[in-house]
Amino acid sequence: MSTIPGRRIIMVTFLFFLLLPIYWLVNMSFKTNNEIVTSMHLWPYQPTLANYRTIFTDESWYSGYINSLKYVIINTVISISVALPFFNLYSAINLFDTPWAVALAHCIFNVPLAVWILEGFVSSVPREIDETAFLDGYSFPRFFVKILIPLIASGIGVAAFFCFMFSWVELLLARTLTSVAAKPISATMTRTVSAAGVDWGLLAAAGVLTIIPGALVIWFVRNYIARGFALGRV
């Protein structure tokens, strides 16, 4: 691949630009509120874990993370499975205030996306493979499970990554459709703004914790990211 002059500098500058605000958030999450408001240091002078301790010990905080993960996973599973027309659709009654409500609402944008990505992968499977399989006496379901799915496995991974991504970052629907029991973390975060002002340290710590699952998921699919972003069409 041909590249441009000064590419190292460009890349480093851009990555620096991406990481700096995140670093600042991490930095703040280890500071006490007093230190945040009164001083301006590039790293915490009196590092504290108090903000994280609050989140992990207070149920109203950590349940937010659990709810988020629940609906993100449900949504990913639904999107992938209907987009790969394979399972029957689960029909649920009494949806309000359950992770299902949010998961189904997120299907609005995830199902078409999953269809789009998977279509790219499926259509890159050569037609001869179908024909050979039928000549060998494979039934359609058997062909689907034994041949097609393994061939597009990386595509399924990529689509799952995208569904996770879009479901994870969404706040608006999640907030409107849930009241208390199924509140996701992104909605819980608004609690740091109270009458006494904003609890900056706690807010920063909660923010850092929402970045971690995303970072983990990226790490697992890193080899497929580029292909996935081209929606399997390259």
Based on the shown chain and the rule CB under 8 A, indicate whether residue 214 belongs to the binding site for another protein.
yes
In the complex, minimum distance from the CB of residue 49 to another protein, in angstroms, rounded to a whole number: 19
Nearer to another protein, 56 or 229 (CB): 229
Q: Which stretch binds another protein (CB under 8 A): 5-13, 46-54, 58-66, 145-153?
A: 5-13
Based on the shown chain and the rule CB under 8 A, indicate whether residue 148 belongs to the binding site for another protein.
no
Nearer to another protein, 196 or 234 (CB): 234
Based on the shown chain and the rule CB under 8 A, indicate whether residue 234 belongs to the binding site for another protein.
yes
Torsion angle of C-alpha atoms 212, 214, 216, 220, degrees rounded to 10:
-170
Cα separation, 213 vs 234, whole angstroms: 28
**DSSP H or E stretch at residue 193:** strand 193-194
- String of contacts with another protein for each residue 87-116, x by CB under 8 A: xxx--------------xx-xx--xx--x-
Which residue from 165, 182, 202, 205 is in contact with another protein, where contact means CB under 8 A?
165
Residues in the chain: 234
Which residue from 129, 145, 169, 181 is in contact with another protein, where contact means CB under 8 A?
169
Give the N- to C-terminal CA distance of the chain in Å, as an integer.
Answer: 15
Positions 6 through 25 that interact with another protein (CB under 8 A): 6-8, 10-11, 14-15, 17-22, 24-25
The alpha-helical segments, DSSP class H, found in 40-152 are: 50-57, 59-83, 99-123, 127-135, 140-143, 149-151
Q: How many CB atoms lie within 10 A of CB 77?
A: 15
Nearer to another protein, 34 or 60 (CB): 34
Count of chain residues binding another protein (CB under 8 A): 76
Nearer to another protein, 7 or 59 (CB): 7
Cα separation, 226 vs 166, whole angstroms: 17
Cα separation, 141 vs 47, whole angstroms: 58
Cα separation, 94 vs 88, whole angstroms: 19
Positions 33 through 62 that interact with another protein (CB under 8 A): 36-37, 40, 42
